[in-house]
Amino acid sequence: MTRTATRTTPDGDFLHVWGSKTFGSGLRVLDDVDLSVPRGSVTVLIGPSGSGKTTLLRAVALLAPLDTGCVLLDGRLHGYREAGDGHRVLPERELVRARLGVGMVFQNFNLFPHRTALQNVMLAPVKTLRRPRAEVEEEARALLRRVGLGDRTDNYPAQLSGGQQQRVAIARALAMRPKVMLFDEPTSALDPEMVHEVLGAMKELAESGMTMLIASHEMGFAREVADRVVFMDGGRIVEQGEPEQFFTGTVGPRVREFLDKIL
Amino acid sequence: MVWDWDLFVEQLTSTGFLEAAWTTVWLTVVAEGLAVALGGVVALGMLSTSRPVVAISGLYVWIWRGTPILVQLLVLYFGLPQIGIRPSVLQAALLGLVLNEGAYIAVLLRANLLAVPVGQSDAGRVLGLRRWQRIRLILLPQAIRTFLPALGNQVNSMIKTTSLVSVLSVQELLAHTRDTVSETYRPFEAFAVATVYYLAISSLWNLVQWALERRSDVTRRGGRRRPAVPAQLSRIGAP
Ligand SMILES: Nc1ncnc2c1ncn2[C@@H]1O[C@H](COP(=O)(O)OP(=O)(O)OP(=O)(O)O)[C@@H](O)[C@H]1O
Ligand SMILES: [Mg+2]
């Protein structure tokens, strides 16, 4: 029996990623991680710099695939195929399609600077989903209104504040109707007064039932919104549990040491 | 008499020099235009995922940037007939200029494409854009904006490089000047006229470039108050 068979069907698992990844000089950046995210739940990833949070998210987004292991989404292999008694990542040509199920928001927003907010949101649905422009535009405007930017549709990224740019990035990801949304430190490039507007948009998204995996050290947000907090260190998942556990101190010494530093 | 003003003015306003200057202008424009097209293709070739395409593009750039353009022009005009191809002087001249300039444009464009932050590509990838779509819709528009000032410099260079095709006796400014000198035996006036024309052409180009750059706000001095894109694309003024 292959390893997948034992892992495909834990009840309610919507997103499931497990495996390892090594970069160039033998540094194990993901060391036998195994993470499940139930449908409609919010998981917050915390951990010191270099612990592998970004690498894990990029693996799920199929930007930097795992060496061993695989990603399962909604009961299906996501970007991988079975090969022998392991898994192999699909060739780039096929990955392009596979990526569509997962939306990602980056620390630096990565908006397209030569396109307006509206054009940023509309680009992919028109070009990759080949949906009719008028319909996409209507939906894009609605998404921008949803993140509180209904009046900034024609602004270029350079004309928007960081918080506004990040909300455009969220709208852009949502326009692809992803099954899962990934956030890589979405507020850590923002001035403090802009953090809450982005977290507000994320909270609203969580309440709408989106499945979310978020690398963030916003512990207040985690406490309020997350169903689960996962602590990573040295490429491993060291501890995971409900947010309250991380506040009431029923966690191991490494986690407590880390929390003392960031809280 | 050391300097003959009448001769200078006569030559400056002669149709011969005017036609020669016009030849310099259109050679520059046509050669640079075709070179940008060629260089664009080669730049994409150098960034291709296919090894043979990368190798062929690299080989072309290596050879054409590594040898003198004068040699390239002579090989094209005098060498090609040996294998049965007989280009006219104009064909050989244009081909020579385009092939040489194309190699430089390719290198410039490639550098500007690579200078677009990788995050832009990542964003395109998670949105499901194919490689070619990412290049066309995300990378090229940004690379072209940073490429424009360098292109201006290339055009400026090309105005003067066209003088080299005088070795194939294309009647551009330099060839006409030398023909004039061999008739009048008065090089100073003739070369002074050529100098005036060259300066006029490159000054004119500086003006055009200045206007183009202002329109596309390449220096981004407009900052956040003005859109950092060509004005004609913008539907709004300052926020
Ligand atoms: N492309 C790469 N090549 C080599 N090493 C890499 C690469 N990307 C990341 N790493 C290394 O992998 C480790 C994990 O990096 P990662 O960015 O996933 O950490 P992180 O938890 O997101 O950290 P941070 O909180 O600083 O964002 C680091 O030691 C990093 O240096
Ligand atoms: Mg990171």
Residue B231 lies in a domain: no
Q: Report how many domains make up chain B.
A: 1
Q: Which residues of B have a CB under 8 Å from any CB of A?
A: 117, 119-120, 122-123, 125-131, 133, 137-138, 141-142, 145, 220, 223-224, 227-229, 233-236, 239
CB distance A212 to A104 below 8 Å: no
Residue B92 lies in a domain: yes
* B167 pLDDT above the threshold of 90: yes
DSSP per-residue letters across B70-104: HHHHHIIIIIGGGGT----HHHHHHHHHHHHHHHH
Average pLDDT over residues B35-43: 97
Residue B238 lies in a domain: no
Cβ partners under 8 Å of residue B65, min gap 6: B103, B104, B107
| pLDDT, tens digit (0-9, with 9 covering 90-100), for B98-131 | 999 999 999 999 999 999 999 999 999 999 999 9
Averaged pLDDT score across all residues of chain B? 90
Residue B115 lies in a domain: yes
Q: Quick check: helix, strand or coil at residue A37?
A: strand
The CATH number that applies at residue B66 is: 1.10.3720.10
| pLDDT, tens digit (0-9, with 9 covering 90-100), for A243-253 | 988 888 788 88
pLDDT of residue A248: 84
User: What's the one-letter identity of residue B152?
Assistant: G
How far apart CA B145 and CA A157 sit, in angstroms, is: 16
Residue B161 lies in a domain: yes
Domain carrying residue B90: 5-226
Ligand 1 nearest-atom number relative to CA A107 = 27
Q: What are phi and psi of B121, to 5 degrees?
A: -65, -45
Closest CA to A124 of A151, A103, A108: A103
Task: Give just the sign of the alpha carbon dihedral B47, B52, B56, B58.
Answer: positive
pLDDT of residue A8: 42
A49 Cβ below 6 A of ligand 1: yes
pLDDT of residue B76: 95
A38 Cβ below 6 A of ligand 1: no
Residue B134 lies in a domain: yes
CB spacing of B129 vs A128 below 8 angstroms: yes
Residue B236 lies in a domain: no
Q: Could you count the other beta carbons within 10 Å of the beta carbon of residue A5? A: 9
CB spacing of B128 vs A114 below 8 angstroms: no
| Four-CA torsion B173, B178, B183, B185, nearest 10 degrees | 120
For residue B14, the number of C-alpha atoms closer than 13 Å in the C-beta half-sphere is 18
Residue B232 lies in a domain: no
Residues with CB under 5 A from ligand 2 (ion): A 54
For residue A167, the number of C-alpha atoms closer than 13 Å in the C-beta half-sphere is 28
| pLDDT, tens digit (0-9, with 9 covering 90-100), for A141-151 | 999 999 999 99
How far apart CA A122 and CA A115 sit, in angstroms, is: 10
The ipTM of this complex is 0.91
pTM: 0.87
